[in-house]
Amino acid sequence: MSYFDFDAMKIEDKKMQEVKQLGLQLAPTQASLLLVGEAGVGKTSLARFIFSKARSSRLQILDCKNVGDFNIAGVNGGTLLIEDLDCASAAVQTELMKLVERPDGSRPRFISTSRRDLRNQVRQEQFRQDLFYKLAVVHLEIPRLESRPADFHNIVNFILEVSQIMHGKSGLRLTAEAFSRLNSWNWPGNIRELENVLERAVVLAKSTLIGPDDIQFETISEDVALNFAPGMSLSEVEKRLIIQTLELTAQNRTRAAQLLGISIRTLRNKLNEYKNEFKDEEGVL
């Protein structure tokens, strides 16, 4: 369970403030929202925050990674939170389309989350265009933790306090060296990873001071299907790697360039090359 709370946490990052305010503005409406961002940035927490400010009295959750026996046809009014919409199978997409096209009052309000840019999936015919337009009336893009330096101190303190409460502890604090160690990490797992690191430090703390040695990171590589095959040219391998890294980072070019070990300028030039290739293939040029 995530500790992040959009109600209780003070937000100073300008972009995140705009996201929160737009969420509040749209909360009482019936507009379908799509929350986009990397894994662990707080998409579900934001969705629940928006729901809490809405007029809807019932929330149902559909996890597209694990649909199980969830009965989409049985949804009746309220709000439907669709998690990881980018992972929805063709069958799930078909059922959701039937739901959004209901003409009566049984149609729910939709709030969806996605780690990837669904527009790319629509272009690649991996996601229904008609469903995309129905579920993504308004996009809210949540920035990754590393790009929110103004919020980092507040987020750390908030998670540290909540973690102590959950584990029956109090009075713990970070040394300057421990905070510096936290601040120097790039947080590939975003807020979810920060919660994990701080909870472990709280649970294992032997005194009221949490030092740098108590801050332990775990590097976990996310599996990405690159679809490489023997005989492919190096340029094609490079192209697929760049495109799928962009999908992994929800089209965050700065983050993608960091993961690829290239400059943002090089990445931009490569993408321009691919656009020109596409135009040539289509006969535009």
Tokens 């500790």 identify what position? 3
| Residue 79 and residue 127 in one domain | yes
| Residue 48 and residue 131 in one domain | yes
Please tell me the predicted confidence (pLDDT) of residue 230. 64
| Residue 153 and residue 136 in one domain | no
| Residue 182 and residue 74 in one domain | no
Give me the domain span that covers residue 270: 234-282
Confidence of residue 280 (pLDDT cuts 50, 70, 90): low
| Residue 210 and residue 247 in one domain | no
* Domain CATH number, residue 192: 1.10.8.60
Residue-wise pLDDT tens digits, 188-208: 899 999 999 999 999 999 999
Please tell me the predicted confidence (pLDDT) of residue 238. 86
| Residue 246 and residue 201 in one domain | no
| Residue 71 and residue 114 in one domain | yes
- 229 falls within a domain: no
Confidence of residue 104 (pLDDT cuts 50, 70, 90): confident
Are the C-beta atoms of 174 and 160 separated by less than 8 Å? yes
Are the C-beta atoms of 89 and 70 separated by less than 8 Å? no
* pTM attached to this predicted model: 0.75
Please tell me the predicted confidence (pLDDT) of residue 273. 85
| Residue 19 and residue 136 in one domain | yes
Please tell me the predicted confidence (pLDDT) of residue 220. 52
Q: How many structural domains compose the chain? A: 3
Residue-wise pLDDT tens digits, 2-28: 667 888 888 999 999 999 999 999 999
| Residue 110 and residue 74 in one domain | yes
Please tell me the predicted confidence (pLDDT) of residue 153. 96
Q: Which of 118, 141, 164 is the last residue of a domain?
A: 141
- 132 falls within a domain: yes
Residue-wise pLDDT tens digits, 162-192: 999 999 999 999 999 999 999 989 898 999 9
* Domain CATH number, residue 98: 3.40.50.300
Average pLDDT in the 109-128 region?
94
- Secondary structure class of 51 (helix, strand, coil): helix
- 8 falls within a domain: no
- 198 falls within a domain: yes
AA letter at 217: F
Please tell me the predicted confidence (pLDDT) of residue 244. 80
| Residue 155 and residue 133 in one domain | no
Which segment of 127-131, 150-154, 181-185 scores lowest on mean pLDDT?
Answer: 181-185
* Domain CATH number, residue 251: 1.10.10.60
Please tell me the predicted confidence (pLDDT) of residue 279. 52
- 5 falls within a domain: no
Are the C-beta atoms of 144 and 190 separated by less than 8 Å? yes
| Residue 88 and residue 163 in one domain | no
Confidence of residue 226 (pLDDT cuts 50, 70, 90): low
Please check the confidence at residue 231 and state whether its pLDDT lies above 80: no
| Residue 134 and residue 163 in one domain | no
The span from the CA of 226 to the CA of 147, in Å, is 27
Angle between helices 149-166 and 176-184 (to 10 degrees): 120
